[in-house]
């Protein structure tokens, strides 16, 4: 069935408290999607952010970002009062997130909520027991990190770095309250998230989550399970992840994440148990999961630890279909609701992996207009089993692209799409995506609003101005929903929920 959706980060939602949350505005966005007959709300990773405020560099691949916990909802539960947060400075810029102010002030309010929380709460105890496999290590990791002013785990003293049993038990006692605080944050995060996701599902909207293929070096994942990664005897990475020079960067992208020890994972008693648990968890949190950098499962680019650029790297073989065959065993062989981000340098082997997996790959229209009629991103070259995007969080907005792209590309795009200047280049490209044969079309929210480069979410290989875009309250309205709905119906992409209710009528 033909479907469509909108990519809108949680952090970009309107909010009076400096960043988007799981509160009122998130529910209103679901209402907007329902009114516009959309099937999907695609979001970016929900993980706590670390270096550069990027959700792709997180302290945990499981934990949720405490900034998304809605303060008004905590107020409704009686955990905090309005006066605890209504005059707190979370950042005054309505269009940009101020992460420094959030870091300095948000946790103070959350600490008040924690102090008023009943730790004997049965739901809380049940949550802690259910999620203990990752939650215990994460909460301990964060508590120790706070006690060391944010110092990375690989700089800790030997006994902590190597998780000496006696030292760990001592820290659990010393930091018991701080550990409990981080567990409380995760309980509130997932309580609010599950309610929001249930509301979306009840209204015919499914959530597409985003899973980074790699985890951050300074994370609870690597600290608690170092044997899953290519580290030396001092727990220093031997190789790190990145991307060779490409259209985004002449020097490549040096991500710095440790890479997996696939041979070790394969030989475990339960092969690939780490990944199997991660996928199972992700598919319990989201309805569909987009796996970032999917090609890394076929072969992955590595750079020696300590290099300053990604120019001099080498490709190593990944687990290929072995991994996904193992994962499918946990789902009785059913087709997994996964989208493969198969962008970048691709080979026949990567194409074969994608085909064998059965997962839909991605097509990005902004990559289509180099003048080559065989370009895989041109709509006439699509097969149905794919997801088309006008752009992604790593691209400029459509209107920003028009102003900065090569003039020949823009001219070709204008001819190819028969651009109508009266409706705007952004709507021409949106309609091109919607009318394509791709099973699913996902539109970036800034493109629906016709915004320029000021609304760009991320510029790869840069730090400082990314992940900050915020939407102004009032932009998400019935007038815009009506336009989206009209085009969704025109190109046969109305949600299953809408079709079902239409049949009843």
Q: Active-site positions?
A: 292, 341, 394
Starting at the earlier edge strand, list the strands of the sheet with 313-317: 253-258, 239-243, 299-304, 313-317
CA-wise closest residue to 450 among 408, 483, 407, 417: 483
Tell me the C-alpha distance between 149 and 460, whole Å.
28
As a whole number of angstroms, the distance between CA 251 and CA 462 comes to: 12
Residues 6 or more apart whose CB falls under 8 angstroms from that of 125 comprise: none
Q: Quick one: residue 53, left, alpha or beta (phi over 0 = left, psi -120 to 50 = alpha)?
A: left
Give Cβ neighbours of residue 372 (< 8 Å, ≥ 6 apart): none
Give, for 242, the enclosing helix (H) or strand (E): strand 239-243
- Name the nearest CA neighbour of 80 among 184, 198, 195: 184
Do 329 and 322 touch, CB atoms closer than 8 A? no
Tokens standing for residue 264: 């070790």
Buried b (16+ CB within 10 A) or exposed e, 5-23: bbbbbbbbbbbebbbbbbb
Do the Cβ atoms of 279 and 221 come closer than 8 Å? no
Tokens of 31: 């209402």
Which residue in this structure is represented by tokens 């997801």? 387
Asked whether the beta carbons of 453 and 95 are under 8 A apart, the reply is: no
Compute the distance between CA of residue 111 and CA of residue 106 in angstroms, rounded to an integer: 9
Helix axes 132-147, 165-174, angle to 10 degrees: 80
Distance CA 277, CA 265 (A): 12
Distance CA(479)–CA(135), nearest Å, equals 43
- The two tokens of residue 20 are 């988007």
Measured between alpha carbons, how far is 250 from 245 in angstroms, rounded to an integer?
A: 5
Cβ-based burial of 281 (10 A; exposed 0-12, middle 13-18, buried ≥19): middle
Q: Which two tokens stand for residue 291?
A: 């796996």
Distance CA 447, CA 430 (A): 8
- The SS3 assignment for 299 reads strand
């Amino acid at each position: 069935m033909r479907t469509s959706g909108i990519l809108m980060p949680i952090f970009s939602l309107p909010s009076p408290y400096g960043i988007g949350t799981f509160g009122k505005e998130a529910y209103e966005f679901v209402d907007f999607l329902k009114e516009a007959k959309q099937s999907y709300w695609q979001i970016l990773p929900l993980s706590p952010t670390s270096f550069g405020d990027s959700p792709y560099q997180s302290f945990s691949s499981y934990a949720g970002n405490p900034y998304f916990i809605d303060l008004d909802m905590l107020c409704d539960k009686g955990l905090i009062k309005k006066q605890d947060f209504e005059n707190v400075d979370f950042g005054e810029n309505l269009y940009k997130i101020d992460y420094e102010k959030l870091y300095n002030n948000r946790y103070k309010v959350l600490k008040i909520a924690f102090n008023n929380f009943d730790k004997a709460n049965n739901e809380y105890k049940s949550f802690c027991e259910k999620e203990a496999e990752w939650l215990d290590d994460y909460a301990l990791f964060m508590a120790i990190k706070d006690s060391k002013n944010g110092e990375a785990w690989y700089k800790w003293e030997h006994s902590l770095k190597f998780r000496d049993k006696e030292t760990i038990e001592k820290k659990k006692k010393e930091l018991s309250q701080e550990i409990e605080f981080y567990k409380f944050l995760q309980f509130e995060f997932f309580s609010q998230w599950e309610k929001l996701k249930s509301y979306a599902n009840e209204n015919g909207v499914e959530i597409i989550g985003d899973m980074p293929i790699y985890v951050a070096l300074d994370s609870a994942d690597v600290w608690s399970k170092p044997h899953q990664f290519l580290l030396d005897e001092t727990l220093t990475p031997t190789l790190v992840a990145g991307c060779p020079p490409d259209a985004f960067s002449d020097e490549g992208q040096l991500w710095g994440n440790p890479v997996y020890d696939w041979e070790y994972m394969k030989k475990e008693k339960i092969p690939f148990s780490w990944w199997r648990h991660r996928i199972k968890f992700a598919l319990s949190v989201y309805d569909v999961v987009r796996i970032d950098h999917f090609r890394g499962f076929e072969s992955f680019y590595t750079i020696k630890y300590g290099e300053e650029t990604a120019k001099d790297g080498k490709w190593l073989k990944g687990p290929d279909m072995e991994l996904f065959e193992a994962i499918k065993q946990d789902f009785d062989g059913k087709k997994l609701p996964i989208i493969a981000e198969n962008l970048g340098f691709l080979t026949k082997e990567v194409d074969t992996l994608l085909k064998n997996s059965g997962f839909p790959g991605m097509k990005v229209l902004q990559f289509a207009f180099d003048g080559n009629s065989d370009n895989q991103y041109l709509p006439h070259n699509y097969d149905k089993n794919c997801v088309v995007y006008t752009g992604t969080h790593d691209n400029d907005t459509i209107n920003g692209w028009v102003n900065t792209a090569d003039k020949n590309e823009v001219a070709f795009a204008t001819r190819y799409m028969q651009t109508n200047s009266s409706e705007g280049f952004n709507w021409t490209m949106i309609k091109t995506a919607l009318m394509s044969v791709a099973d699913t079309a996902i539109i970036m929210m800034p493109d629906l609003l016709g915004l320029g480069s000021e609304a760009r979410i991320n510029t790869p290989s840069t730090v400082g101005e990314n992940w900050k875009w915020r939407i102004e309250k009032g932009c998400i309205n019935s007038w815009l929903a009506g336009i989206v709905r009209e085009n969704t119906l025109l190109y046969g992409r109305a949600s299953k929920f809408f079709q079902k209710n239409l049949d009843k009528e």
